[in-house]
């Protein structure tokens, strides 16, 4: 039977654990890397959505300038905690104008992003009516990942001119997120993708300047490219997010090592399926998520890697092979028996996608290097 600290044994499972030493090391590593490039640090808080973690980032990085959020709920939550320089990293649209305006009225420096002329015109009209002024950036798409204009699209200059001429708008510059970096394999590919990201936004920014419009900011994102960029010339700020925790997808592309993953889910063995040599655990799809981000990678980790509850070391290559709503299933390989994992055994699961896994929970239990619980941190959820 495995041993487990009294603190872990007392927790109700499933629940989230954060290894503080790994978290702090990840934050300091990213801070040092970006400082070496001379760029400002605007971390994305959508992964952790937690004020103490954002505060750790702020005090660990002298070049910290503010945060990036993915929901207005996050913006409100962090603004209430004293974070007043916020980039809302999702395209603004009229249905969210009023909610954004409430933050502006509360003296939050909320920067909005968009990639559409009609939305820009509508935003200007709304802000003028409300007697407000907002900072706005143009979203660019450097790798065919999601929203944004391609850097060479003539609409970039047209949009920049419109935003620059709008009296209610403080046009700040261009931003992008290199989401396709998640398809890279290894540091060399990530570094090449980082250069593609940098070159695209800098090219657009220079074209805007040559057209006579001031372009203050050139903002890039993505944890892999932030960590392994060789050159960030022309970039003013970087917005990595999942680096705080990392996860198995990041490990699979070479953006981190599995030993750097700071987030795990504590779970309990609740049953044995003897006919199939399976363990049943109480961390299912709602606790782990059903993200199968490693399925297309060289190593498929199912729904998460099993590690020892106390030591954090991997358990003989075990993974969560199936996930139902409240049940997780672990198939035992040859050499292990059900008796090695009595009912009541505590295990931890490293997540495929830290953002999705954390979203199912409302707080973190913070682990010290000795495996004791030293704090509990709340987080915000929803939109």
Query: Rounded to whole angstroms, what are the CA distances from 258 to 4, 247, 307?
Result: 22, 7, 11
How buried is 316 (Cβ within 10 angstroms: 0-12 exposed, 13-18 middle, 19+ buried)? exposed
Q: What is the mean pLDDT of residues 219-241?
A: 97
Q: What is the pLDDT of residues 184-219, one digit of tens each?
A: 999 999 999 999 999 999 999 999 999 999 999 999
pLDDT score, position 2: 54
Residue with tokens 């790994």, as numbered in its chain: 22
Q: What is the pLDDT of residues 84-100, one digit of tens each?
A: 999 999 999 999 999 99
Topology of 21-244 in CATH?
Answer: TIM Barrel (3.20.20)
Q: What is the mean pLDDT of residues 267-275?
A: 97
CA angle 140, 91, 377 (to 5 degrees): 110
Do you find a cis peptide bond into 382, omega within 30 degrees of 0? Answer: no
Tokens of 116: 């559409």
pLDDT score, position 369: 87
**What is the rounded distance in angstroms from the CA atom of residue 345 to the CA atom of residue 160?**
59
**What is the rounded distance in angstroms from the CA atom of residue 163 to the CA atom of residue 171?**
6
Q: Cβ(193)–Cβ(223) under 8 Å? A: no
Q: What are phi and psi of 191, to 5 degrees?
A: -65, -40
Q: Cβ(60)–Cβ(278) under 8 Å? A: no
Query: Domain residue spans in the chain?
Result: 6-17+257-378, 21-244
> Which SS3 state, helix, strand or coil, does residue 185 take?
coil
Q: What is the DSSP letter of 332?
A: P
User: What does DSSP say about strands 217-221 and 169-176: parallel, antiparallel, or unpaired?
Assistant: parallel
Confidence of residue 7 (pLDDT cuts 50, 70, 90): confident
Same fold, 6-17+257-378 and 21-244: no
pLDDT greater than 50 at residue 1: no
- Which residues are within 8 A (CB) of 131 and not within 5 positions of it... i.e. 6 or more apart? none
Query: Within 13 Å and on the Cβ side, how many CA atoms surround 278?
Result: 13
- Which residues are within 8 A (CB) of 110 and not within 5 positions of it... i.e. 6 or more apart? 75, 86, 88, 100, 103, 104, 134, 135
Confidence of residue 144 (pLDDT cuts 50, 70, 90): confident
- Which residues are within 8 A (CB) of 3 and not within 5 positions of it... i.e. 6 or more apart? 310
Confidence of residue 3 (pLDDT cuts 50, 70, 90): low
Query: Rounded to whole angstroms, what are the CA distances from 299 to 185, 251, 295, 357?
Result: 12, 10, 7, 19
Q: What is the mean pLDDT of residues 142-155?
A: 93
Of 261 and 145, which is predicted with more confidence? 261
User: Model's pTM, two decimal places?
Assistant: 0.95
pLDDT greater than 90 at residue 370: no
CATH top-level class of 6-17+257-378:
mainly beta
N residues, the chain: 383
**What is the rounded distance in angstroms from the CA atom of residue 24 to the CA atom of residue 61?**
12
Q: What is the pLDDT of residues 307-337, one digit of tens each?
A: 999 889 999 899 999 999 999 999 999 999 9
pLDDT score, position 154: 97
**What is the rounded distance in angstroms from the CA atom of residue 69 to the CA atom of residue 72?**
7
**What is the rounded distance in angstroms from the CA atom of residue 302 to the CA atom of residue 318?**
10
Mean pLDDT of the chain: 96
Q: What is the mean pLDDT of residues 255-260?
A: 97
User: What does DSSP say about strands 217-221 and 15-19: parallel, antiparallel, or unpaired?
Assistant: unpaired
Tokens of 327: 């049940």
Q: What is the DSSP string of 51-96?
A: HHHHHHHHHH-TTB--EEESSHHHHHHHHHTT--EEEEEEE--GGG
The residues that bridge with 322 in the sheet, in sequence order, are 329
Q: What DSSP element (H or E) covers 280?
A: strand 278-281
């Amino acid at each position: 039977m495995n041993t487990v600290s009294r603190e872990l044994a007392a927790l109700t499972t499933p629940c989230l654990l954060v290894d503080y030493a790994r978290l702090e090391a990840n934050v300091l590593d990213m801070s040092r890397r970006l400082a070496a490039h001379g760029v400002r640090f605007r971390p994305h808080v959508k992964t952790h959505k937690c004020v103490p973690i954002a505060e750790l980032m702020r005090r660990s990085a002298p070049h910290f300038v503010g945060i990036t959020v993915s929901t207005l709920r996050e913006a409100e939550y962090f603004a209430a905690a004293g974070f007043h320089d916020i980039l809302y990293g999702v395209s603004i649209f009229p249905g969210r104008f009023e909610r954004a305006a409430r933050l502006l009225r509360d003296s939050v420096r909320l920067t909005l992003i968009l990639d559409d002329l009609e939305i820009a015109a509508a935003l200007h009209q709304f802000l003028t009516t409300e007697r407000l002024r907002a900072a706005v950036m143009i979203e660019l798409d450097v790798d065919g990942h999601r929203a944004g204009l391609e850097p060479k699209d003539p609409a970039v200059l047209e949009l920049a001119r419109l935003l620059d001429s709008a009296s209610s708008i403080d046009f700040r510059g261009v931003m992008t997120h290199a989401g396709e970096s998640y398809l890279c394999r290894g540091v060399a590919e990530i570094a090449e993708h980082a250069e593609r990201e940098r070159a695209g936004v800098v090219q657009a920014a220079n074209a805007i300047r040559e057209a006579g419009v001031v372009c203050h900011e050139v903002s890039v994102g993505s944890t892999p490219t932030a960590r392994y960029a060789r050159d960030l010339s022309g970039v003013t700020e970087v917005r990595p997010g999942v680096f705080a925790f990392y996860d198995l997808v990041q490990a699979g592309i070479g953006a981190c090592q599995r030993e750097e993953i700071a987030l795990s889910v504590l779970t309990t063995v609740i049953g044995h399926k003897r006919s199939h040599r399976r363990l049943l655990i109480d961390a299912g799809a709602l606790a782990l998520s059903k993200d199968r981000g490693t399925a297309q990678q060289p190593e498929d980790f199912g729904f998460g890697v099993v590690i020892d509850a106390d030591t954090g070391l991997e358990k003989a290559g075990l993974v969560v092979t199936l996930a139902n709503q409240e049940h997780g299933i672990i198939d035992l390989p040859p050499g292990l028996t059900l008796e090695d994992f009595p009912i009541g055994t505590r295990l931890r699961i490293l997540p495929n996608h830290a953002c999705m896994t954390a979203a199912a929970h409302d707080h973190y239990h913070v682990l010290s290097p000795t495996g004791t619980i030293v704090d509990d941190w709340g987080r915000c959820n929803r939109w």
